Structure 1
């Protein structure tokens, strides 16, 4: 842990607390006979202004996303409607991550979440439902503060969203650890001074977090 005194752990949701949505995307691609990672390639084109980015900032609705995404997919040579992508945008909660949240809370660490999500539908990548019986909401309840791109109007990797969290917590970035399954989202967090962990699996995330904090997790 070195000389750093961490006060908070900030989590991404989809792909960290839950299994990666990319797994579901790959299943959809296989079902449709599309190249592997085609959906990711659509979302990587014009990443700050494409349909996905606009939807995560709640600048367009689901119907408009459906149309725009399909046009972007066709421009890359394949047919895929946006509504089909939204239909699989969920992920199974990783129980070991939930146990770690409880352990961290009991150890006195402040817990928060920054998530890029869309404003309609249901699942890990959707805006919060507010339903206390919902499994995702029960996990969200463990966080002191949650910033959702679809409500904040700003999305990762915009540095502003990380600073919004730090300002809310009243902490310097150097006092925070940030976990995300996308390197592009970890980079601005690290640049601001957070200790960033790129998540490739639940076990790896907990091992790296345990090493930083000097405590067993999971």
Structure 2
């Protein structure tokens, strides 16, 4: 607080405003158009985002990296890939000299790309009919790590399978199965999938059973 102004709230509102401007435009009623981001992340999360969404706090500009880059001169227009009567809609961050690039933020330099980022880039290669792509991870200290990817049909078939699964479950109004990952604890739907978050307390089994302190002397 400086004076009567809550600058943290002002900054957070600004980030939220930018985020809404850059976020994917997903029509939750159009079940025949599935966005690529929906199927490379947890399907359960994507389902709740459409059926009964909860807002998530935006923590900083790193989360907006891809959206900001798509607005630059190398940004590409969204494209669709037809899967029967379903359309898979994807968008790459940059398309330069037939090379597809996506940018992701990272807390530190990483040794291997994240699986969902590889799935996303590989699918973009098929959607844009390109053969090679690059994932660029940018850490908080502006160091970058790059990984090159050549498109894989088998990997794209897995994305297509997930498109069909999400499409069917949205029609049936059935939540997808759990896909536990390290991202669950930060997900806004954590309590729908697991238990309500509480501060844990230590319970002495011996005292609970009337036997005194567990492990104590006779």
Higher relative contact order (CA 8 A, sep 6+): 1
Question: TM-score, length-normalised on structure 2?
Answer: 0.26
Question: TM-score, length-normalised on structure 1?
Answer: 0.26
The structure where helix makes up a greater share of residues is: 1
Of structures 1 and 2, the larger Rg is shown by: 2
